Structure 1
Amino acid sequence: MKHISSRDNAQFKRLKGLAEDARSRRAEAATLIDGEHLLEAALESDWPLSRLLLQEGMENSPVVRSALAALGKRGLSPEVLVLAPALFKALSPVVTPTGILAEIPLHGPRRETDSTDDVLVLAGVQDAGNLGTLLRTAAAAGCRQAWLDRQCAQAWSPKAMRAGMGAQFRLVIEEGCDLVQRLANCDRQVLATSLADDSVSLYALDLRVPSVWVFGSEGQGVPTDLLALASRKVTIQMPGMIESLNVGAAAAVCLFEQVRQRI
C-alpha cells in the first residue's frame, strides 16, 4: 500500500482530474467509482480494476478486507493507495465518503450486440444524475444498448456512475453518436416520446418487437430532426393536471410497459 498525504502528489492530481473533469476522463480513458456496491457490480461484470483508493483508517475494515478477498479470488492485485481523509474527501462524489473508491478503465469486456437488442437513445440529457438514472432504468428493463449524442452528460462521470448503480457495466454504451444517422439506418421500430397531435398512446402500441426508444432533455424534449425519423411518436396518457413527466419517469413508464407486454 502506498500512502498519499499531499495535494501536490502527482497521482493525487491525476485522480482529482478523473473525479472532476470529463476531458481528463476521456484522455485517460478511466473514471472513479465510489463505494462497495459499485465495486461489487464491476467485479460481477468482469470489469477491469486499475487501482483501489482507501481513506486512511480503512485499511483493515471488513469492507476493504472483503473487497481485497474478492479481487484475490479473481487473480487481481491492483495498486492500493491510502489517502489522508481530506484528500479522499476531495475525490469522493458524496458528502459522507464511504472510505473506498476504485479507478476503472472506461472500456471493459467486449459485449456482442445485434438487431434484436432494445436500445435507449438519449438526446441532450445534460444532468449526470438523470442520465445515470435513465441508464439504470434501461438496464433493469432489459435494454442492452445505449446511444448518447454529444450534448449528453458523460455516462462515466462519478455522479452518473453513482446514479446508474452498476448499469454502465451491463449496457453497451456509445457516446458522441450521430443520432440522425443511426436512426435513419435503424432496422427496428423507433419510438420517440412527444406531445405532438399525431402522437399515439403508449398503451395502444405493440411493444413485443425490438424497439429503439428516444428520449430528450427535460426542457427541449426530443429534437425535431429525430422526431421526423420515428416510426411512431408516443405519448403517455396523464389524467392528472400535469403537463409532462420528468424524463426519467417517462422512460420508466415506457420501458416497463414494454416489459409488461412481453411477460
Structure 2
Amino acid sequence: MPSPARGGRLDHVADPALFTPRTPRIVAARRLHRRRDRDNAGRFLAEGPQAVREALARAGTVLELFGTPAALGRHGELAAAAHAEGVPVSPVTDEALAALAETVAPQGVVALCRQLDVPLAQALAARPHLVAVLAGIRDPGNAGTVLRTADAAGAGAVIFAGETVDPYNGKCVRSSAGSLFHTDVVRAGDPHAVLAALRGAGLTVFAATGYGETDLDDIADAGGLAVPTAWLFGSEAHGLPDDLTAAADARVRVPLHGQAESLNLAAAAAVCLYSSARGLRSIAREKKVQS
C-alpha cells in the first residue's frame, strides 16, 4: 500500500485493513448524516480536504480521519497532521468512503469531528465587535455561506437561533468552506433571549430586511456602524419574523441602485457584515492616530 507521507509505507494508518461499509466504525459514522444522531453523539462529519485541513488546525476537533488509500496518498499532509495530533487515520474502501460522503463526487477524505458549540454567555464574554445571528434560516447552503462570510468579515461569533438549520448539517459544513472551525458557533433556543443577551453585552442589534426604514448607506455615512454590532438575518423565502424584526434596534435595508428586485440572503449578508467591518476599522484607525 503506498504511503501518503513516507516512501513505500502507510506509516500514519491506525489499522492496515481497509474499512468497508459494514465496518462498525463506518456504520456508526454514517448515522451522523441524521441530525438526531449528530446531537446524541455530539459529533459530525467534515468532508473533503479543505474542511479536514481546517478541522485539524483546531486542536482536539478531529477524532478520526477516514480516507481511501489514493486520497491519503494525494493528501499526505493531512495524514501527517492527524498523526501529529494523535488522531487515528483509517484507510477505507471506495464504497465505505461513498457511504460517509454526501457529495456525488467525493474527494476521498472525511473527518469525524466533535461538535464545537460555544455557550452564548461564553461567546459574548469574549466581547466580539461583530456578530451574525441566523434566525429561521432553513437552507443549509445559505447558512454555511453566511457563516463563511461572517468569518471573512471578522465576526467573533455566529449564532444559530430558534428554528434554524443545524450548523453541522453536511451541506452547511461544506458551504462554510472551513469557517465553521474558525469562529465561535452558538446554538440558542429563543431568539428574543439572544437579542437581550446581545444588548446586555453592549452590541447594537440591526435587522436586515428589504423593507427596513433605515438605508444601509445612510446609517454607515452617519457613523452608525462604527459600534459593536449584531446583524439579524432571516430565511431567504420568508425573511425575519415580524416580532423579531420589531425587537431590533433598527431595521436596515440594503439600497438597490439598479432594477433588481432584491438581493439573495448571502449577498445581503455580505454587504451588511462588510459595511460593519469597515465602520469598525475606521474607529480603530482613528484611535491609533490619536494614540
- Whether these two folds match at TM > 0.5 is yes
- Aligned mates of 2:97, 2:56 — CA distance in 1: 22
Contact 1:38 1:166 in 2 (8 A): yes
Q: Report the residue type matching 2:205 in the other structure.
A: V
Letter of the aligned partner of 2:246 in structure 1?
A: A
Write out per-residue CA displacement over residues 143-179 of structure 1, whole angstroms, 9 at most, x where no aligned residue: 1111112321111122111110111112211114311
Letter of the structure 2 residue corresponding to residue 29 of structure 1: G
Q: Which one-letter code corresponds to 2:93 in the other structure?
A: A
Root mean square deviation of aligned Cα: 2.1
Q: Report the Cα offset of residue 47 of structure 1.
A: 4.2
| Matched residue count | 256
How big is each residue's C-alpha offset from its partner over 1:195-226, in whole Å with a ceiling of 9 and x where there is no partner?
33x61110111211000100100111111111
Distance in 2 between residues matched to 1:58 and 1:210, nearest whole Å: 44
Shift in Å, 1:10: 2.4
Larger CA deviation: 218-227 vs 79-88: 79-88
- One-letter code aligned to 2:39: R
Bigger shift: residues 209-218 or 169-178? 169-178
- 2:218 counterpart residue number: 204
Which of 24, 27, 51 matches 1:13? Answer: 27
Q: Is the 8 A contact 2:128 2:228 kept in 1?
A: yes
1:131 partnered with 2:143: yes
Which segments of 5 or more consecutive residues in structure 1 lack a partner in the other structure? none
**1:100 pairs with 2:113:** no
User: Residue 38 of structure 1 aligns with which residue?
Assistant: 51
**Paired residues of 2:117 and 2:184 also in contact (CA < 8 A):** no
- Give the counterpart letter for 2:96 in structure 1: L
TM-score (norm 1): 0.89
- Residue 260 of structure 1 corresponds to 278
What CA distance in whole angstroms lies between the structure 1 residues aligned with 2:162 and 2:195? 15
Residue 22 (1) aligns with residue 31 (2): no
- Preserved contact between residue 52 and residue 101 of structure 1 (Cα < 8 Å): yes
Q: Judging changes above 3 Å, is the alpha-carbon distance between structure 1 residues 158 and 47 closer, same or farther for their aligned structure 2 residues?
A: farther
Provide the C-alpha distance between the structure 2 equivalents of 1:135 and 1:88, rounded to a whole number of angstroms: 27
Which of structures 1 and 2 has the bigger CA Rg?
2
User: Which amino acid in structure 1 is aligned with residue 46 of structure 2?
Assistant: I
Q: Could you tell me the percent identity over the aligned residues?
A: 29
- CA distance in structure 1 between the partners assigned to 2:60 and 2:104 by the alignment: 26
Question: How much has 1:259 moved relative to structure 2?
Answer: 2.1
CA distance in structure 2 between the partners assigned to 1:183 and 1:70 by the alignment: 40
Aligned to 1:4: 19
